[in-house]
Structure 1
Amino acid sequence: MLAFLPKLENQPAGIPAPRKTVKAKPAAKTARPKTDGCPPALDGDIYLVKGISAATAPKFHKMGINTVRDLLYYFPNRHLDYSRLKKISQLEAGSEQTIIANVWQSKVNYMGGRRSTEAVLGDDTGNMRAVWFNNPYMVRNLKPNARVVLSGRVSIFNGRPVFESPEWEELPDEADLIHTGRLVPVYPLTAGLHQRSLRRLMKNFIDISTPGISDFLPEDTLKRTRLLPLAEAIRQAHFPDTEELKDAARNRLAFDELFILQLGVLAKKKRWQEQTGRALKINLPAIDHFISQLPFKLTDAQTKCLADIKADISKSVPMSRLLQGEVGSGKTIVAVISLFTAAANGLQGAFMAPTEILAEQHFKSVTRLFASIAKVSTLLDGVYTFEGLLDRPLRVALMISDMKSSQKDILKEKIKKGEIDIAIGTHALIQKEIRFKSLGLAVIDEQHRFGVEQRSALRSKGLNPHILIMTATPIPRTLALTLYGELDLSVIDELPPGRQSIKTRWLKPEQRNSAYNFIRKQIEAGRQAFIICPLVEESEAIQAKAATAEYETLSSEVFPESKVALLHGRMNAAEKESIMKHFNEGKMDILVSTPVVEVGIDIPNATVMLVESADRFGLSQLHQFRGRVGRGTEQSYCMFLAENPSLLGQERLSIIESTQDGFKLAEEDLRLRGPGEFFGTRQSGLPDLRMASISDVGLLEQARREATRLFESDPELNLPENKALEEEIRRVWPKKSEWS
C-alpha cells in the first residue's frame, strides 16, 4: 500500500547539527489574565490556568474539571511507553518504538484518494519513511533539516521500516519531551479537546504548579511509609520519568485516598459512640423463655453473635453493629431475638428490607415463628397480636408502599402511639409522616441496597436507637472494615445442621436441553425449580419484559406439561403474594423470575436453580441465587448457563462451580470485579477514589494502621503538625456528608 512513496537513493546518512527550535506563536488571550510562572490558587476557577480560555473552559467542565485542583488531579488513564530509544537500523515491526532523526524531505501525496503527509528521515544508521494519513497539514511542520523525535508503531514495507501516523515533536533544546521519547500520558477527552494540545497544556501546568504544593501528610507518617512527597507524586503520575516512579506515584496518591477515607470513618465511629442511647435490660425472664421455646437450637455462631449484640444494647452507647452471615446461616432469628428484647424493654423495633418481597418474607417468617410459640389473638388492619410472649400483647405489623392508603394511615397512627412493637417494612418505614413513639432498635437488612439518606432517615426515627445491619452478601473483612469501619463486626460463620452442599455445574450452550431434561425429572419426582431470567439491567421495565418473554417460551414450548409461574419487580404486592403463596404451597412447578429472588425467598421443596447468562453476574450474586435451593432435606442442584462467556466470565464460572464458601467467593469477586460489585460510591457515601482500589488489601491495611495510629494520638487533629491534614479531611469529607 506504500508503493507510491519515493525511493531513498542518494540520501545522506549523517545527521547535521540540530537547528534552533522554532519559537511557538504567542498564546491566544483568555477571558482572565494569567500570571506567567505563578500558579493560581488550587480552589481557583479552571480558566485561571494559562492556556484555558473562557471558550475552552466549558469543555473541561464537561469532564468534571471546575477548579485548579480538579485539573491537578485529572490523571491520565494510561501511559504509552515511548521511552525506549532506538536507531533506525534497530526498528522492528509491531511494537511501540522511538527514534531521533533528521527530516530530509516532506511533501503532500495522495494516498487512498486523500491528501496525506509523507516524510523521509535519517540517522547515522540509515533512513526511513513516516506517513501521516489524511493529514496534509503536517508538511508545514516538518521542515528540512529539522531534528525530531518520533514514537509509534512501525510497519515493514519492502524490507524497510515505516512509521504510520506516529506521535512526533521537534527535539527541544533541553530534551524536555512531551509527546515522544518518554512515558507519554493519555488523558480522557471530550468533544473539542485533543490529546496533543491537552498534553502540552498539562505539562506546562504541572511544571508551574507542583513546586508550590505543600504536603498534608504528617512528617512522621511520610517517614514511616517511605512514600513520595505529594508534589513529586503528582508530577510523576502525569509525566513519569520511569515505570518505577509511575508506580510509586500511584501508590502515594492511592494511600492518600484510603488514609483520608479511614480517618473519616474513624471520626464517624467516634461521634456515634459519643451519642447517648437507651441501655436495655437483657436478662429479663421473658427473653430467656422466648429463646428456650424456639423450635430449633441456636448454633454456636448464632449464640456468639447474639452475645455481642446483647453486650452492645445493654450499654447507654447506641449499638452500631454489622452482622454478616452465609446464605441460610440464620441471621434473621438473631435479628428477631434482638427485636424481641427491645419489645420486652417496652420499646419499639423496626426491621427494614430493601424490597417488598423480602419485607413480606421477613414478616411471614417472624409471625410464623411467634405463632409457633404463642397464641395469635387477633389479625386486624394487618397487625398480628400475640398473647403469652410478654406480660402484655405483642403486636407485629407490615408496612410497605403497595398498601391501601386507609390501611397505611391506620398503621402510621398505631406506630405513633406505640401500639406496634415490631414494624417490618421497606423504605415506607422512613417516610416523613412515620413517627415512632419509642424506637429502641432498628434492623437494616441487605443494607448496601439502601442509600445513605435512607439509612440516616431510619436512624433519626428514634432517640439514637441501637442499629443492627445485616447482610447475606459475604464481605471480605478488609472491605468491611473500610466501608463499615464505624461498625463493630459479627460473623455467623457456620450453617445450621442439615444444610447441605449444593451440586453446582457450569453448562455450555449445547447442554441446555440436558438442563431442561434434568429439571423435568426433578419436577416428576415432586420437586420445584427456579429459572432466573438473564437480564441484569437496572430497568425493572426491561427486566419485566424479558422475564415475560422467557416465561412464555418456557411455559408453552419447553415445559408445556408443567405449571410455570412468573415473578418480577413490576408486579403489585397482591400479585407477588399470590404467586409466592402458590409456589410455596407446591401448586406451581417452576418459577421464572428476574434477580428479585436473589435474597429472602425460602422454598424448602425447591431443589433446582438454573441461571441464564450466568457470566453477567458477579460471584456473590451467583452464590445468592444458589442459596435459594438446598433449604430442605433433598439434594439440591444449581446450573449456570453461559452462551459465550469472556475469559473473565469463564474464570468466575469455574470458581463458583468449585467453591461453596461464600466468604472465599467474596474475596475472589473483589479481586476480579473490584468493590463496585458490593457497593457503589453513591450508595455507600464514601468519597470518590481516583487512584485507589479498596481491593488493594496491602495498601488498605497500611492506610488503616496509619490512620488508627494517628487517630489514637490526636483524634481531633488539633496538633500543629496535623493542621494541613485536618483541612484536607474537611475538604474531602464535607460536613454535609452523612457518612454511613
Structure 2
Amino acid sequence: MTELINIKGIGKTSLARLNQNRIMTVDDLIRTYPSKYRLNEIKSIHKMILNEEITIEGTLNKNPLVYYIRKKLTKMKLSLLIEGKNVDVTIFNREFLKNSLFVGDLLVVTGRFQTPSQLMASDIVKKQNYLEGIIPEYKLEGISSKLFSKWIDYALHYQFVQIEERLPEYILKKNNLLEMNRFFQVVHHPMTLQDVEQSQNRIKYEELLEFFLRLEIMKSEHKDTFIRKKHYDIHKVKEFVSSLPFELTEDQKTATNDIFRDLKSNRQMNRLLQGDTGSGKTVCAAIAIYAVVTGGEQVALMAPTELLALQHQRTLREYLTPFGVNIAFLSSNITGKDRDLILDDLKRGQIDLLIGTHSLIQENVEFKRLGFVVIDEQHRFGVHQRKALRQKGLSPDVLFMSATPIPRTLAITIFKDMDISSIHSIPPGRVPVITEMIQYESVKASLDRMKDEISKNHQCYVIVPLIEGNEESSSISIDEAFELVSNGLPKGIRIGILHGKMKSQEKESILQSFYKNQIQVLVSTTVVEVGLNVVNATFMMILNANRFGLSQLHQLRGRVRRSQTQAYCHLVHDGLKEEESRLDILCKTIDGFEISEADLKYRGPGQIFGEEQTGIPRFKMANFVLDQQLIQIAIEDASLLIQSCDEKSVELKKQIGKTFETYHLD
C-alpha cells in the first residue's frame, strides 16, 4: 500500500499534522469525509433575512479596526459599501487580515445580519480568491480544507489505495446506495446538492448498519442469566422507607417497584436507572441496598471518581448506618493496614456495603457473598471494568445509574438488553435555576451577581474547560479565571482552586473547606460535574460555555440546584450567534431529557455518553434523532445480514467481529 508521504505535497511537517488528526494511511485520508459543504453563491443584499447566513460582496470604504478583548480573543470591525449601502461588519479572531485589507478592496463576506446595517461575519475573503460552487470543508487541526482536498484528489486519481465494495449488491440496490468507487468521487467533489445528499446517505447508512450489526452480534452472544431469587425482610424495608424524612415522588416509587420486581425474579437484574441530578436516584438505590443486606448478602457500589464515591459514602451512611448496615470505603488512597483490614472484613462477610472507585475491581478484593452491584455514572466505565465487578459474585443483580438522561426511544434502541427506569420529576420544593447567557464583554454582570450572592452568605462556583491554556485555544485557563474573579471581587473573599491534577489530599482539603463555607468561591474544572452536594452554593458562572455540550452544562448547573433557595447560572460565551441559539435551550428548560435530546441533534450520542463506555460510536454523519427512517432500515438490514450466508455478508460480519472489542459492547 502506498504511504501518505508519497502523495504530492505531503512532506514531513504535513505528515505530522495528518498523524495528529489520526490520519495514518491513505485509506484514512480518503475516508476523512467533509464535515460540511459550503454552497458558495454570492447573493444580493435585498435577499437578506435577519439571522440567516448569507454571502454578499462589497467594497471596503474604511481601514479595519481591531479590538483586543482578552488573551486569544480579538474583534475586527470593518465598513463595507454594499449596493450603495453602508454596512458595519464584525468578525472575531481575524486580526491577521488587517494588514492585507485596503480601502477599495472588493471583499466577499459570509455571515448573518443582526440588523439591516450590521453583519456578524464568519468568513471574509478577497473577491479574486473566492471559489463558487459546492465546496467541501474538512474539520482538521492545522490543515486547510483546500490543501486537504488536493491530497485526496491526488490519491484518488493515481489510485493510491485499493477501493473495495464491502456491502452486498442486494443491499446497494435495495437502498439505492452509491457504489463505493463512485461514492468517493461524489463525497469529495459533489457537483449538485443531490450528489451531497446521496453521498451523505451512504455514510449514514453504513455507520448505522455497522452499529446495529454489532448489536445483533451482542444479542446472539448474551442470553438471560437465571439466578436464585433474592430473599429480604419486607417489614424491615417498609420500616426503612417510613423513616425517610420525605415522601418518595411517584417516579421514585415506580423505579423502586421496578427494582424490587427484578430482585424477586429468577432472572439476573440488568437495569438502568436514569434521572436528572437531584431527582433522587440514590434513595431508590439505598432502599434496594438495604433490602439485599436484610437477606444476608453483600453490596458493592462503584463510582467513577473519588469525589462521587465519597459523596455516596456520606449520603448512604446517613440513610443506612442507623439500621445496622456496616459500610466501608475503598480507594487507591487507602493503603497498608487500613486496606488490609477492609479486605479481610469483606472476605469474612463483616462488611455489608463496600463503596469505592476502580479499586473495587482489583483481584485481591474478594466478597464472601456479593449479591447486588450498583454502578453509578455507568457510561464513564468501560465494559471490561463493569464486567470485572460483576464477576466478584455469583451472577449478582446489577443496577446502573446515570444522571445523563437518555431519551427513551434512543435508550430502547441502544440498550436492547437492559431494562430502563426513568425519574423525570424533581422532589417538591426545589426551585428551578435561573440560567442566563452572558457575552464575555459583559462578564461584569456575572461578577456583580456573585458579589450579591456572597453578601447573602451564599457560595459560588466558577467553571472552566481547561486547567492550562494554549496558543491554539481561546479557552480561559483555571489561573486566568482565578485572576478574573480575584480582580472582580472585593478583597477578603476566600477563593479556592480545584482540578483533576491535584493530589487527593489537596483536593479533599479544598472540598472540606468549601463544604464548611471557609471557601466562598470555588474555581474549578469539570471535576465538580458529579458528586458535590453543597446546598449553600447558589451561583455558578461557566466560562467558555460554548466549549461544553448541553448535557454537560446541565450536569454542572445541577451543582446549584440543591435546595429551596433561588439559584443562578451564567453561561459566559464569546458572542457567536450559532452558539447563542444552542445555549438558549438551557435558558428555556431544566428538563434533562429534553436537553439530552437537543444535545443529540447537535453532537450525537457518542460524544454525550462516550464511545468506549457505551459502545456508541462517534458517527461522522448519522444522527440518532434526525435519521429515524434510516435507522429502521439499518435495523432490518442488520437482522437480514446476521442470517445471510452469501460471501459478502459473511465477510462483512467477520470485519465487524474483528472490531467488536474496539467498541466495548456489553
TM-score with structure 2 setting the length: 0.73
Larger Rg: 1
The SS at the match of 1:621 is helix
Which residue number corresponds to residue 317 of structure 2? 367
Which residue in the other structure is 1:660 paired with?
590
Is residue 699 from structure 1 mapped to residue 653 from structure 2 by the alignment?
A: no
- Residue aligned with 2:538, SS: strand
The structure richer in helix per residue is 2
- What is the rounded CA distance, in whole Å, between the counterparts of 1:588 and 1:355 in structure 2? 22
Secondary structure at 1:321 match in 2? strand
The superposition leaves residues 470-502 of structure 1 with CA deviations (integer Å, 9 ceiling, x where unpaired) of 111233345434554443322101111111112
Where do 1:382-401 residues align within 5 Å?
386=324, 394-401=325-332
Within 5 A, what are the aligned runs for 1:183-332? 196=150, 198-203=152-157, 205=159, 213=165, 215-216=167-168, 219=170, 225-228=175-178, 233=183, 236-238=186-188, 240=190, 242-281=192-231, 284-332=234-282
Q: Secondary structure at the match of 1:580?
A: helix
**CA 1:72–1:638 in 2, change beyond 3 Å: closer, same or farther?**
closer
CA distance in 1: counterparts of 2:238 and 2:167, whole angstroms: 57
Distance 1:624 1:214, change over 3 A: closer
Matched, 1:729 2:653: yes
CA distance in 1, matches of 2:300, 2:636: 33
* Distance in 2 (alpha carbons) for counterparts of 1:556 and 1:200: 55
One-letter code aligned to 2:572 = L
- The answer on 1:720 being equivalent to 2:642 is no
Relative to 1, partners in 2 of residues 1:488 and 1:692: Cα closer, same or farther, differing over 3 Å? farther
Deviations 1:178-224 (A, max 9, x none): xx999889898989x98556524414539x966x736337x4x6676
Tell me what 1:599 maps to: 530
Amino acid at match of 1:652: R
- The answer on 1:492 being equivalent to 2:423 is yes
Q: Distance in 2 between matches of 1:557 and 1:605?
A: 22
**Aligned partner of 2:577: which letter?**
L
In the aligned structure 2, how far is the partner of 1:181 from the partner of 1:226?
Answer: 26
Report Cα offsets for 1:111-140 as digits up to 9, x if no partner: xxxxxxxxxxxxxxxxxxxxxxxxxxxxxx
Report what 1:454 is aligned to: 385
Q: What corresponds to 2:298 in structure 1?
A: 348
> Superposed, which structure 2 residues align to 1:356-505 within 5 Å?
356-371=306-321, 373-374=322-323, 386=324, 394-481=325-412, 483-505=414-436
The Cα offsets for residues 633-667 of structure 1, whole Å up to 9 and x where unpaired, read as 2222222333x332333223333222222222222
Counterpart for residue 600 of structure 2? 670
**Secondary structure at 2:326 match in 1:** strand
Instruction: Quickly say closer, same or farther: Cα 1:703–1:335, change in 2 above 3 A.
Output: same
In the alignment, the residues of structure 2 paired with residue 629 and residue 199 of structure 1 have an alpha-carbon distance, to the nearest angstrom, of 53
Secondary structure of 2:500 counterpart: coil
Q: Alpha carbons of 1:47 and 1:554: their partners in 2 closer, same or farther (altered >3 Å)?
A: closer
Distance between the aligned counterparts of 1:576 and 1:187, measured in 2? 37
Distance apart, 1:566 and its partner CA: 3.8
1:533–1:612 CA contact under 8 A, matched in 2 = yes
Shift of 1:518: 3.2
Instruction: Name the amino acid aligned to 1:348.
Output: Q
Letter of the structure 2 residue corresponding to residue 418 of structure 1: G
| Greater Cα offset, 57-66 or 278-287 | 57-66
The Cα shift of 1:610 comes to 2.5
Q: For the Cα contact (< 8 Å) 1:602–1:631, is it kept in 2? A: yes
Query: 1:368 deviation in Å?
Result: 0.7
Distance 2:184 2:330 in 1: 52
Give the letter for the 1:468 counterpart.
L
Matched residue SS, 1:412: helix
Identity between Structure 1 and Structure 2 (%)? 33
Partners of 2:373 and 2:398 within 8 A in 1: yes
Aligned to 2:111: none
Conservation of the 8 A alpha-carbon contact between 1:75 and 1:187: no
Answer 1 or 2: higher relative contact order, Cα 8 Å, separation at least 6.
Answer: 2
How far off is 1:229 after superposition?
5.2
Q: Deviations over 1:260-288 (max 9, x none)?
A: 21231243245333444453246743333
| RMSD after superposition | 4.4
1-structure distance, mates of 2:351, 2:598: 43
The CA distance in 2 between the partners of 1:724 and 1:589, in whole Å, is 64
Structure 1 length as normaliser, TM-score? 0.67
Report if the CA contact (8 A) 1:354-1:446 is conserved: yes
Q: 1:692 is matched by which residue type in structure 2?
A: M
SS in 2 for 1:641: strand
Distance (Å, rounded) in 2 between the aligned partners of 1:76 and 1:525: 52
Q: Contact 1:448/1:683 (CA < 8 Å) preserved in 2?
A: yes
Q: Does 1:584 align with 2:492?
A: no
Q: Residues 521-553 of structure 1, C-alpha deviation per residue, up to 9 Å, x if partnerless?
A: 3333333332334636799xx9xx954665477
Instruction: Count matched residues.
Output: 575
1:362 Cα offset (Å)? 0.7
* CA displacement, residues 140-198 of structure 1 (integer Å, 9 cap, x when unaligned): xxxxxxxxxxxxxx999xxxxx997999xxxxxxxxxxxx999889898989x985565
TM-superposition CA deviations, 1:696-735 (whole Å, max 9, x none): 5243553246426754x78xx34435x6334313313425
SS at the partner of 1:498?
Answer: coil
Between the aligned partners of 2:135 and 2:494, the Cα distance in structure 1 is 63
* Equivalent residues of 1:623, 1:662 under 8 A apart: yes
Deviation of the 1:432 alpha carbon: 3.0
Q: Write the letter of the residue equivalent to 1:199.
A: D
DSSP-derived class of the 1:529 partner: strand
Q: Output the CA distance in 2 between the equivalents of 1:183 and 1:558.
A: 49
Note closer, same or farther for the CA distance 1:74–1:590 as it changes in structure 2 (3 Å cut). closer
